[in-house]
Amino acid sequence: MVEMAAEAQYSVEEIGCPAGDERKYAQQDYTGKPRIEIDEDGVWHLHGYDESRQVLRSDLVKQAGFVAEKVMGESTKGLMKNLPILFLEKDEHHRMRRETNRFFTPTAADTKYREFMDSYADALIDKLKKQGSADLSDLTMEMALKVASQIVGLTSSLIPGMNARLNGLLETANDLAAESPNLAKLIISQRYMIAFMYLDVKPAIRKRRKNPQNDVISYLVSRDYSDLEILTEGVVYGVAGMVTTREFICVALWHLLEKPHLRQRMLVGSQEERYAILHEILRLEPIVGHLLRRTTGEIEIESEGEKVTIPAGTLVDMNIFASNIDPGMAGENGTSVCPLRPLHSALGKVPEPVLSFGDGYHRCPGSFVAIQESDIFLRKLLAIDTLRLERKPDIVYNDIVKGYELRNFVIKV
Ligand code: HEM
Q: How far apart are CA 155 and CA 138, in angstroms?
A: 20
In a domain, 200, yes or no: no
Nearest to 346 by CA among 309, 302, 310: 302
DSSP helix/strand/coil, 292: strand
Nearest to 169 by CA among 74, 238, 230: 238
What is the Å distance from ligand 1's center to 8 Cα?
32
Is there a contact between 137 and 250 (Cβ–Cβ < 8 Å)? Answer: yes
**Which numbered atom of ligand 1 lies nearest the CA of 292?**
16
Interval 227-248: pLDDT, tens: 999 999 988 888 788 989 999 9
In a domain, 88, yes or no: yes
What is the Å distance from ligand 1's center to 292 Cα?
14
Q: How far apart are CA 51 and CA 301, in angstroms?
A: 7
Torsion of CA 103, 105, 108, 109, to 10 degrees: 100
**Which numbered atom of ligand 1 lies nearest the CA of 286?**
5
Nearest to 190 by CA among 206, 176, 205, 180: 176
Is there a contact between 335 and 284 (Cβ–Cβ < 8 Å)? Answer: yes
pLDDT beyond 80 at 182: no
Per-residue b or e along 278-308, where b marks 16 or more CB atoms closer than 10 Å to that residue's CB:
bbbbbbbbbbbbbbbbbbbeebebeeeeeee
**Which numbered atom of ligand 1 lies nearest the CA of 63?**
16
What is the Å distance from ligand 1's center to 401 Cα?
10
What is the Å distance from ligand 1's center to 362 Cα?
8
pLDDT band with cut points at 50, 70 and 90 for residue 176: low
In a domain, 89, yes or no: yes
Q: What is the mean pLDDT of residues 174-197?
A: 71
Backbone dihedral region for residue 89 (phi beyond 0: left; psi -120 to 50: alpha; all else: beta)? beta
- Pairing between strand 44-46 and 315-319? parallel
In a domain, 197, yes or no: no
Lowest mean pLDDT among 8-22, 183-197, 266-280: 8-22
pLDDT beyond 70 at 358: yes
Count structural domains, the chain: 1
Q: How far apart are CA 244 and CA 376, in angstroms?
A: 16
Q: How far apart are CA 167 and CA 407, in angstroms?
A: 13
Q: Higher pLDDT residue, 157 or 190?
A: 157
Lowest mean pLDDT among 26-30, 127-131, 274-278: 26-30
Mean pLDDT of the chain: 90
Q: What local confidence, expressed as pLDDT, does residue 181 receive?
A: 55
pLDDT band with cut points at 50, 70 and 90 for residue 339: very high
Lowest mean pLDDT among 69-73, 195-199, 318-322, 352-356: 69-73
Q: Percentage of the chain surpassing pLDDT 90?
A: 75
Q: What local confidence, expressed as pLDDT, does residue 237 receive?
A: 87
Is there a contact between 378 and 118 (Cβ–Cβ < 8 Å)? Answer: no
What is the Å distance from ligand 1's center to 360 Cα?
12
What is the Å distance from ligand 1's center to 86 Cα?
9
Is there a contact between 326 and 303 (Cβ–Cβ < 8 Å)? Answer: no
Q: What is the mean pLDDT of residues 121-145?
A: 96
In a domain, 71, yes or no: yes
pLDDT band with cut points at 50, 70 and 90 for residue 360: very high
Q: What local confidence, expressed as pLDDT, does residue 239 receive?
A: 78
Cβ < 6 A, ligand 1 pocket: 63, 65, 85-86, 97, 148, 151, 237, 240-241, 244-245, 248, 287-288, 291, 356-358, 362, 364-366, 369-370
In a domain, 217, yes or no: no
pLDDT beyond 90 at 340: no
- Looking at the chain, how many residues does it have? 413
Query: For position 115, which CATH number holds?
Result: 1.10.630.10
Q: Which domain holds residue 364?
A: 12-149+246-412
pLDDT beyond 50 at 4: no
**Which numbered atom of ligand 1 lies nearest the CA of 88?**
40
Residue 46 pairs in a beta bridge with: 36, 318
pLDDT band with cut points at 50, 70 and 90 for residue 27: confident
In a domain, 78, yes or no: yes
**Which numbered atom of ligand 1 lies nearest the CA of 293?**
16
What is the Å distance from ligand 1's center to 241 Cα?
6
Q: Ligand 1 pocket test: which of 282, 357, 364, 368 has the largest number of ligand atoms within 8 Å of its C-beta?
A: 364
Q: What local confidence, expressed as pLDDT, does residue 3 receive?
A: 42
Interval 58-92: pLDDT, tens: 999 999 987 777 766 666 666 788 989 999 999 99
Packing angle between helix 367-382 and helix 260-268, nearest 10 degrees? 110
Q: What local confidence, expressed as pLDDT, does residue 305 receive?
A: 93
- pTM given for the model: 0.93
Beta-sheet strands, E only, within 288-393: 290-295, 299-303, 306-310, 315-319, 388-391
In a domain, 121, yes or no: yes
Q: What is the mean pLDDT of residues 41-55?
A: 98
What is the Å distance from ligand 1's center to 372 Cα?
14
